[in-house]
Amino acid sequence: MHYKSNNKTNKIITYDILQKALSGEKLDNEELLILLEERDEKAVGKIIFTADTLNKRINSDKVSYVVNRNINFTNICSLNCKFCGYKRTKNSKDAFLLDYDKIIEKISEGIDSIGIDEICVTGGINPDLKTNPDYYFNLIKTVRNNFPKLHIHAFSPQEIYELSNATGMAYAQVIEKLVECGLDSMPGTAAEILAEETRKKICPQKINTAEWLEIIKTAHKLGVKTSATVLFGHIESSADLAYHLSIIRQMQDETAGFTEFIALPFISPKTSLGKSIYRTDRNEIMNEKKALKFYAVLRLYLYNFKNIQTSWPKIGVPAALKSLGCGVNDFGGTLMEENITKSAGGKFGEFLDENEIINLIKQSGKIPVRRDTVYNYLYKYNAMEKAV
Ligand code: SF4
C-alpha cells in the first residue's frame, strides 16, 4: 500500500495537523504525507517547534546516551546493497573476519577505557559462515561467558534470516537459541526502506519487507526488544517514507517491542548509489535542514515511540545537537568504532567519549542521562557535574 500526495499541502492544513498532534491525537497517514511534503519555510519552522514542544512534554529536557562499542565482526559480504561502502569480497586486501580472541580484546578495551554497558554486534553476510552458523551462536556464548553483565545487542533481521537458512531452524528457534547463548536485544537494521519497489532498487538481495517484519515480530513475541530504523535521503519518495513509518508504527501498536526509532541519513560518497544519484564522488552531505525536519515529523507521527535517536556519525555533532531541539531525545552511543558510515565516506568520526557527550548535551541546555540499551536510566547528571 502506498499513499498518494494530494494538492492540499498548504500552511493552513499543516497548522491544523500540528494542532491535532499537540492535542495528543494520532495523525493519520495522509497527514503524515502532508508533513513530509511540506516545504514552506515558516511551516517547517512550526513543525519543528511543535515537535520540540511534544518532546519536552514526553521527555522534559532529558537527553539520553549509551556508553557502548560497535563490533563489526566481518566486512566480507555476498550481498550488494547499493548504498553500502562497507562490504568487501573475500579476496579484497582489507577483508576480515574477527576471531573470538580479537572480539574479546575489543570488548575488554571498551570496558577498561570507557566502561561500556553494551556491545552492538553486526557484520556482512559472509558466505563462509553459511557453512559455519555455529560462529554466530558461539560468538554470543563466548562474550556472555567472559562478560556476564554486558548487554549484548546483536544480529540484524538479515543475519537471523541467514542463520535460519543455514541451520534449517525457524526464526523463533534461531532467536531462542541466541537468547540461550546470551543475546539480550537486536538491532532493527536491514530495514532500509520498507516500501518494496524502492527497497528492490537499493538492496535487491536483502530480505523483503514481509520477512523483515516477520523476524522483528517474532523477536518481540519472544521478549527480545529491537530498535526500529529507516535509511532516508536517497531515492525514496515521501510516499515510501510514509509507508515505512506507518508499518513501523502499526507494529509498535501490536508488540510494543521497539525501544527507539533511529533515522539514518544516507551517506553517499563511496557508494554506487551515491555515484549514480549525484554522478560524482564529491562528498554529498545529507541536507541538514531536511534531516532536522524529518526528525521533527518522526516525533509528531510516532506517538507510540518515547525515544527518537539522532545519528552524530552521519550528520555531524553540530547538526545532531540541533536535532535535540527538533523532537529528538537520544544522542546515541560512544560507539568507539563506526566502520559502516566511515566506509561510505562519512567524515564525522567514530568515537565521542562520555564526557564529551555529557558536555555537548549540557551546552545545548539539556540534561544528559546515561541509559542502558533498553532505556533504563542509569545516571542523571545535575548542574554540579555529579551523577544522581
Ligand atoms: S549493507 Fe550489509 S548486507 Fe548490504 S552489502 Fe553492505 S554489508 Fe552487505
How high is the pLDDT of residue 4?
Answer: 42
Contact predicate 231/264, CB 8 Å: yes
Q: Under CATH, which architecture does the 62-380 domain have?
A: Alpha-Beta Barrel (3.20)
Residue 270 has pLDDT above 80, yes or no: no
How high is the pLDDT of residue 41?
Answer: 92
Q: Where are the chain's structural domains?
A: 62-380
CA 358/CA 50 separation, integer angstroms: 26
Query: Atom of ligand 1 at shortest distance to CA of 158?
Result: 3
Contact residues for 7 (Cβ-Cβ < 8 A; gap 6+): none
Nearest 5°: phi and psi at 3? Answer: -105, 130
Report the length, in residues, of the chain: 388
CA of 166 to the centre of ligand 1 (A): 18
Query: Atom of ligand 1 at shortest distance to CA of 78?
Result: 8
How high is the pLDDT of residue 383?
Answer: 42
Contact predicate 341/267, CB 8 Å: yes
CA of 88 to the centre of ligand 1 (A): 9
Residues 176-198: tens digit of each pLDDT: 999 999 999 999 999 999 999 99
CA of 85 to the centre of ligand 1 (A): 8
How high is the pLDDT of residue 342?
Answer: 60
CA 58/CA 360 separation, integer angstroms: 21
Percent of the chain with pLDDT over 90: 80
Q: What is the mean pLDDT of residues 371-386?
A: 75
Contact predicate 36/65, CB 8 Å: no
For 157, the 3-state DSSP assignment is helix
CA of 163 to the centre of ligand 1 (A): 16
Q: What is the mean pLDDT of residues 129-154?
A: 97
Supply 3's cell numbers.
499513499
Percent of the chain with pLDDT over 70: 89
User: Which residue ranges have their beta carbon within 6 Å of ligand 1?
Assistant: 77, 79-81, 84, 86-87, 124-125, 158
CA 330/CA 328 separation, integer angstroms: 6
For ligand 1, atom 2, the nearest C-alpha belongs to 124
Query: Atom of ligand 1 at shortest distance to CA of 203?
Result: 4
List, as one string, the DSSP characters of 221-258. Answer: HTT--EEEEEEESSS--HHHHHHHHHHHHHHHHHH--E
pLDDT confidence bin for 352, thresholds 50/70/90: confident
pLDDT confidence bin for 346, thresholds 50/70/90: low
How high is the pLDDT of residue 143?
Answer: 98
Q: Which residue reads 495528543 in cell numbers?
A: 24
pTM: 0.92
Residue 348 has pLDDT above 90, yes or no: no
Residues 215-231: tens digit of each pLDDT: 999 999 999 999 999 99
What integer best gives the mean pLDDT of the chain? 91
Q: Which residue has the higher pLDDT, 336 or 48?
A: 48
pLDDT confidence bin for 363, thresholds 50/70/90: very high
Query: Atom of ligand 1 at shortest distance to CA of 75?
Result: 7
Query: How would you list the strands of the sheet with 308-309, edge to edge?
Result: 226-232, 258-265, 308-309, 330-333, 62-66, 367-371, 377-380
pLDDT confidence bin for 276, thresholds 50/70/90: confident
Q: What is the mean pLDDT of residues 44-67?
A: 97
Contact predicate 349/384, CB 8 Å: no
CA of 79 to the centre of ligand 1 (A): 6
For 381, the 3-state DSSP assignment is strand
Identify which of 72, 87, 129, 234 to mutate to test ligand 1's pocket (most ligand atoms within 8 A of the CB). 87
